[in-house]
Structure 1
Amino acid sequence: MTEPGPVAAERAAAEAWFAHHGLPWFVDDVRAVVRRRLRRTPVLLVALAAVVVGVGTALVVGATGAPSYDVIAGISAALATVVVYALVALRTMPIARWALRRALRSLGLLLPLATRALPILMLFITFLFINTEVWQVASALHGGVLWAAVLCFGAIAMGFLVPRLAQELDQFDDRVQLEEVLAGTARTPLAAAAARMEASDIDLPDQAQVTGLQMVNLVLVLVVAQAVQVFLLVIAVFVFFLAFGKLVIDPSVITAWVGAKPTYPPGPHVVSVELLHVSFFLAGFSGLYFTVVAITDELYRKEFFTVIMEELARAVSMRVIYRMLRDGDQDEARGSIVE
């Protein structure tokens, strides 16, 4: 058994780097497997299984006496079926592991993020918190309806975020320069290979083009990176409103706003159900508001979008060198066959 050549070894290191950073579909062999499993027949079978599981779960939950949760439980079960297929068959487990590591590492950003984003955000959102109609609407949202409303905010935020990230990617890979590739691959397994590229005659804009499943993978990673920031902000807003409401909103005021005495979860009467509902509802709305502002306002972009652009530059740069190594590996293999 022959030892792999230097190009093959660097390519293997690049593939390991992609997997560790949540980009498994950048690897040629993995992408080929995913393409086969995204054909019409397996996708239709998974969709049918998701519908059966979702309907069955909704019927079971409804029969147990919790009708307000049946729809959301059914949707959750159907989504869980699709997620399991994606994790196992579509090789997205590296993305999930990267997302978990990213979330844990980002916990230290909660305080800096809150101090920079919350002041401006609170000027807008606090007026809603002391609004009678908001309390009436939020307190009337029971069970799965409240979760569905917050999930709707999240879906709308993704609808704004995904096209913007795809646009940023399309603009970046059209104008990538050698200096950006060298900077993006610094302190990575491909730093030496990138340095060798300086003497190569390579059309960088052509090599940097990200399309198909690779674009889906990269946009998904960028969405996760931004979503972690939004999620941390949502937690901060939720905790703030719980504390603020407990401090300044008297139970008699809640009674006047919602038309009934506040109710409390089992245990000590610390935070009312109505306050929980309003805080949760406004926290979800704050996540939507912050997402839209972060991708449109220039000040917010400088504060919160810089990390996203760094992730984008590094991934595109690594892919450029990986494609160069792939071509070199093929040349190396042809040379060994000739010998």
Structure 2
Amino acid sequence: MAKDKQRHSLPIKEVERWFLREGMPFVVRNMRKHPVLARSLPALMFFLGGVLGYIVVSVSWRWSPPYRGLSAAQASVRMAEDDGYQLTGLGVATVTAIGAALLFLWLRTGRRYLRSRTAGITGAVITLSTPPLLEGLLNWSWSDAREDLVIGAALVLVIYAFTRAGIGSLVHWSFWHLVPHLGNLGRLVTRAVPLLLLLVTFLFINTENWQMSGNLDRPRLWGIAWFFIVIIALFLCVRLPEELKKLRVEITPDSVRAACAGTELGKLAEQLPDEDLQFDRHPMKLGERLNVLLIAFVSQGMQIALLGLLVFLFFVTFGAIAIKDSVAEAWVGHPLTEGTFFTIPIPIDGISNELIQVSIVMAAFSALYFAVYAVNDASYREQFFEEILEELQKVLLARECYLRLLEVDGPQSPEGWTKLAEVTQRS
């Protein structure tokens, strides 16, 4: 009984939540205390809020005068061709999705039952059942309802897998570490982009490129984009482990205190004497090694994606300004079509479907070039990986303290941790 009280007096659960926020879920030893479905509830509420917002717009449009007298099938076809409906639906769905996720995060603060396994299962069931149920009741289309159920189930599985792997936390972690270091990225871009733009701008105004890219159907276009993404991913998977071999974790009292500062372990580490902060390393499991690799992969991937997005926007803007519709029509061999992105119309003059497709191909090629250049550029590699390695060293040192906390009741536990647990229990 005394051992249970001693263990409960230590901030193990709070430390485990910190590791989850840092994108290191495989470090946590007892995931039963942190149900995956419960942790995925913000993402599920985001999806559910977006669906409900889009349904509200659909119902409002369906009962407006132009569509009121039409059958459900006819109204759906007409609404799909209505740019106002598409843009309104996208805008409302985005607002309601973000609002639902933020509202849930606010409600979950201080309410432990919203972090429970029961809450996670309930949220998943609601997310699965609400869209098909509303589809069936509003449109009496149970075949569409079954389709919505299958899509919802697939989405829940994807969200579950991403939450278990800590992808959301990794993206959040990478984003907030990318913002302060945009200067380093900018210096690399100023070296890599001039030569890159010379090459891709020549390709951009090439007739054969427009004939190939502009005449692709969208599934094949996205297939090409994914081909480049897979090549980039394979390249990073080969090169990143070589850089991570430089990672060394030196366990000293000062390094442990510095790594734990700002976490739930910080107070404990500060109160322990130096001799209790010198202990042997715990061997890393395969999942933890993959977790470390994933952090570097996501961080590098976000920088590559940012550059690809900038190149895409550059060529869309450049094409809309510099290339007349008559010239583009001569290149592609047919009249230009209205620009759409994921079926959402872009109501801007000069931005055609063909221009968007050529820009996507150019952005994908540029991202591949940047990935190769970044990993082979010595100064950027030194700056980028020094920062990543420094952050990973802190996380891995905190991991050593966390694993030592779990051994408080064991025979190899340092006396200092046990004494501190007793002091914490009495206070």
Alignment of 1:68-87 (within 5 A): 80=155, 83-87=158-162
Counterpart residue number, 2:169? 98
- Using the TM superposition, give the Cα deviation of residue 246 of structure 1 relative to its aligned residue in structure 2, in angstroms: 1.9
Compare 127-136 and 177-186 and name the one that shifted more.
177-186
Counterpart residue number, 2:371? 291
Compare 214-223 and 272-281 and name the one that shifted more.
214-223
Letter in 2 for 1:161: L
Letter in 1 for 2:297: V
Letter in 1 for 2:379: L
SS of the counterpart of 1:187? Answer: coil
Structure 2 Cα separation of the partners of residues 225 and 99 of structure 1: 8
1:281 equivalent to 2:361? Answer yes
Letter in 2 for 1:244: F
Preserved contact between residue 182 and residue 317 of structure 1 (Cα < 8 Å)? no
Alignment of 1:131-146 (within 5 A): 131=203, 132=206, 133-146=208-221
Letter in 1 for 2:404: M
Preserved contact between residue 243 and residue 385 of structure 2 (Cα < 8 Å)? no
Give the TM-score normalised by structure 2: 0.56
Counterpart residue number, 1:27? 28
Change (3 A) 1:85 1:10: closer
Letter in 1 for 2:349: H
Preserved contact between residue 182 and residue 194 of structure 1 (Cα < 8 Å)? yes
Q: Name stretches of at least 5 consecutive residues in structure 1 with no aligned partner.
A: 35-75
- Using the TM superposition, give the Cα deviation of residue 294 of structure 1 relative to its aligned residue in structure 2, in angstroms: 2.1
Counterpart residue number, 2:195? 123
Q: Name stretches of at least 5 consecutive residues in structure 2 with no aligned partner.
A: 36-150, 340-344, 420-427
Change (3 A) 1:19 1:296: same
Change (3 A) 1:274 1:77: farther
- Using the TM superposition, give the Cα deviation of residue 27 of structure 1 relative to its aligned residue in structure 2, in angstroms: 0.9
Preserved contact between residue 110 and residue 233 of structure 1 (Cα < 8 Å)? no
1:241 equivalent to 2:318? Answer no
User: Which of 145, 149, 153 is equivalent to 2:224?
Assistant: 149
The structure whose Rg is larger is 2
Deviations 1:149-192 (A, max 9, x none): 1122222212122343334444314x535355443333322234
Deviations 1:214-242 (A, max 9, x none): 22223223322222222222222211111
RMSD over aligned Cα, in angstroms?
3.8
SS of the counterpart of 2:275? Answer: coil
1:217 equivalent to 2:291? Answer yes
What percentage of aligned pairs have identical amino acids? 30
Preserved contact between residue 237 and residue 283 of structure 1 (Cα < 8 Å)? yes
- Using the TM superposition, give the Cα deviation of residue 281 of structure 1 relative to its aligned residue in structure 2, in angstroms: 1.5
Structure 1 Cα separation of the partners of residues 156 and 410 of structure 2: 39
Structure 1 Cα separation of the partners of residues 178 and 377 of structure 2: 25
Alignment of 1:265-276 (within 5 A): 265=339, 267-276=347-356
Letter in 2 for 1:127: L
Counterpart residue number, 1:315? 395
Counterpart residue number, 2:19? 18
Change (3 A) 1:32 1:12: closer
Counterpart residue number, 1:301? 381
Deviations 1:233-269 (A, max 9, x none): 2222211111122222333443444344433336553
SS of the counterpart of 1:328? Answer: coil
Change (3 A) 1:314 1:305: same
Give the TM-score normalised by structure 1: 0.69
Structure 2 Cα separation of the partners of residues 80 and 212 of structure 1: 27
Preserved contact between residue 26 and residue 319 of structure 1 (Cα < 8 Å)? yes
Letter in 2 for 1:29: N
1:199 equivalent to 2:279? Answer no
Structure 2 Cα separation of the partners of residues 216 and 194 of structure 1: 27
Aligned length: 287
